[in-house]
Amino acid sequence: MADTLTITDNRTGKTYQVPIESGSIKAMDLRQIKAGADDFGLMTYDPAFQNTAACRSKITYIDGDKGILLYRGYPIDQLAEDSTFLETAYLILFGELPKAGELDEWTRKITMHTMLHENIKKFMEGFQYDAHPMGIFLSTVGALSTIYPDAKKIHDEDVRRLQILRLIAKVPSIAAYAYRHSIGRPYIYPDNDLSFTGNFLNMLFKMTELKYRPHPVLERALDILFILHADHEQNCSTSAMRGIGSSQADPYSALAGAAAALYGPLHGGANEAVLRMLQEIGSVRNVPAFIQKVKGGDGRLMGFGHRVYKSYDPRAKIIKKTADQVFSITGRNPLLDIALELERIALEDDYFVSRKLYPNVDFYSGLIYQAMGFPVDMFAVLFAMARTSGWLAQWDEMLRDPDQKIARPRQLYIGAARRDYTPMSAR
């Protein structure tokens, strides 16, 4: 029969027809497969969701074998070449490229919302002088939910839209304040004359000059990096955003959770881990020994490998090009030679080739950030800032989706069977 899967249960001899739609079967269709009346029904066991689609989405398309990444159908290389981060964020959130008037209005509204409540500044002052900026970032985003209790009305489209504007506008201010706090410099208020990314650089790096003027090449390079990080479908942090949002928590709380998921070294913390790895390797001549160590199971080659991409990450290609433009202004990052040698050896080595391990977006991004003057512990914060647009788009899509309910996976219980409590004297 067309578009169905026939399953024969050898325990009972029964056969079942399960419809196939969009290359998948519904896990709930397996529940009908029971060995007896009190059998719960068949479940799937899929730790780390390696083969489970948890939603239908119109936002981002990835073909991991061919190295294709599309936002709302537009190829990432075209957006990186021709779009801006704010325009791309609009596209991701609302599904279409904005017309001129729409982009102006969107930019104006974002610019209007960049200020942080003074209490939030005070809140941030409470962190230790050497607190990791990502810890400050995710805590402060969560704290915003106490400033905007109206955000709890998540079923009201206008309320959702307002929180989307607030969050996209305020995350650069939070990120910049976290950085300034960690180096003991005064906070810089937003400058509405500058672009989204230009203003971010202003809030980070302005000193005593009356007006901060970002270098146009560095401003554009950072904007491109933000475009590349804006969304990446159902990755770990986006799944956290959807999972937390599915309990109908407000978007600040959900986004704090998503940022926490991004913090880990296997996800958005990888660019920081790459830099620390390159520093530890220290010189091109130590690269072969390091590769041997990784192949022996001692550590991973950070910035390599991806759950979905089994070919060159298309974002890594664009980043390599952007790196050249940045280094022509800032001077070459001396760690680049180590990174290039690691990539050269890894792409020829059977261990990496047979496992289809290629550089991912984070292999080169840290080198650019470092050359631009960002400290290593700011890297994940930059990622979180850009990904905020994707998290919000995915959250909004989830709330509109009639198929979605509170996210609640099942488990296979493998613990002790029922037993009676043993008094302390008898243990």
- For residue 205, give the H/E element and its range: helix 196-205
> How many degrees, rounded to 5, is the angle at CA 151 between CA 147 and CA 157?
150
Nearer to ligand ACO, 277 or 398 (CB): 277
Which residue number places its CB atom closest to ligand ACO?
305
Stretch of 57-65, 176-184, 199-207, 295-303 contacting ligand ACO, by CB under 6 A:
295-303
Does residue 357 bind ligand ACO (CB under 6 A)?
Answer: yes
Smallest separation, CB 402 to ligand ACO (Å): 30
Q: Does 315 bind ligand ACO (CB under 6 A)?
A: no
Decide if residue 240 touches ligand ACO (CB under 6 A). no
Q: Out of 300, 310, 317, 332, which residue is the one contacting ligand ACO (CB under 6 A)?
A: 300
What lies within 8 Å, CB to CB, of 213 at 6+ separation is: none
Q: What is the 3-state secondary structure (H, E, C) of 78-104?
A: HHHHHCCHHHHHHHHHHCCCCCHHHHH
Residue 8's CB is within 10 A of a number of other CB atoms, namely: 11
- Burial class for 64, CB neighbours closer than 10 Å (0-12, 13-18, 19+): middle
Residue from 305, 314, 366, 390 binding ligand ACO (CB under 6 A):
305
Catalytic-residue membership of 362: yes
CA nearest to 198, candidates 214, 209, 187, 211: 214
CB of 49 vs ligand ACO, minimal distance in Å = 11
Residue 5 or 266 with smaller CB distance to ligand ACO: 266
Smallest separation, CB 145 to ligand ACO (Å)? 26
238 makes contact with ligand ACO (CB under 6 A): no
Q: 79-115 burial string, b = 16+ CB within 10 Å, else e?
A: bbeebbbbbbbbbbbbeeebeeeeeeebbebbbebbe
Question: What's the residue count for the chain?
Answer: 427
DSSP type of residue 359? B
Contact flag: residue 343 with ligand ACO (CB under 6 A): no
Encoded tokens for 345: 């050896």
Least Å distance, CB 147 to ligand ACO, is 30
- Choices 121-129, 134-142, 250-258, 353-361 (CB under 6 A): range interacting with ligand ACO: 353-361
C-alpha span between 183 and 113 (Å, rounded) = 25
Size of the site for ligand ACO (CB under 6 A): 19
DSSP result, 135-184: HHHHHHHHHHHHH-GGGG-TT-HHHHHHHHHHHHHHHHHHHHHHHHHHTT
Q: Which of 117, 307, 317, 332 binds ligand ACO (CB under 6 A)?
A: 307
Task: Give the x/- contact pattern for ligand ACO in 186-225, rule: CB under 6 A.
Answer: ----------------------------------------
Nearest approach in angstroms of CB 140 to ligand ACO is 22
From 87, 362, 377, 397, residue interacting with ligand ACO (rule: CB under 6 A): 362
Report in angstroms how near the CB of residue 240 gets to ligand ACO at its nearest: 13
Of 132, 250, 306, 313, the active-site residue reads 306
Residue 306 annotated in active site? yes
171 binds ligand ACO (CB under 6 A): no
Token representation of residue 367: 């080198």
Q: Which of 113, 117, 215, 267 is catalytic?
A: 267
Give the list of residues 6+ apart from residue 422 with CB closer than 8 angstroms, or none: none
Of 2-10, 25-33, 160-168, 296-304: span binding ligand ACO (CB under 6 A): 296-304
127 to 156, contacts with ligand ACO by CB under 6 A?
none
Question: What are the CA-CA distances from residue 226 to residues 148, 222, 315, 381, 388 (Å)?
Answer: 26, 6, 11, 11, 10
Q: Which residues are catalytic?
A: 267, 306, 362
- Residues near ligand ACO, by CB under 6 A: 235, 266-268, 270, 294, 300-307, 355, 357, 360-362
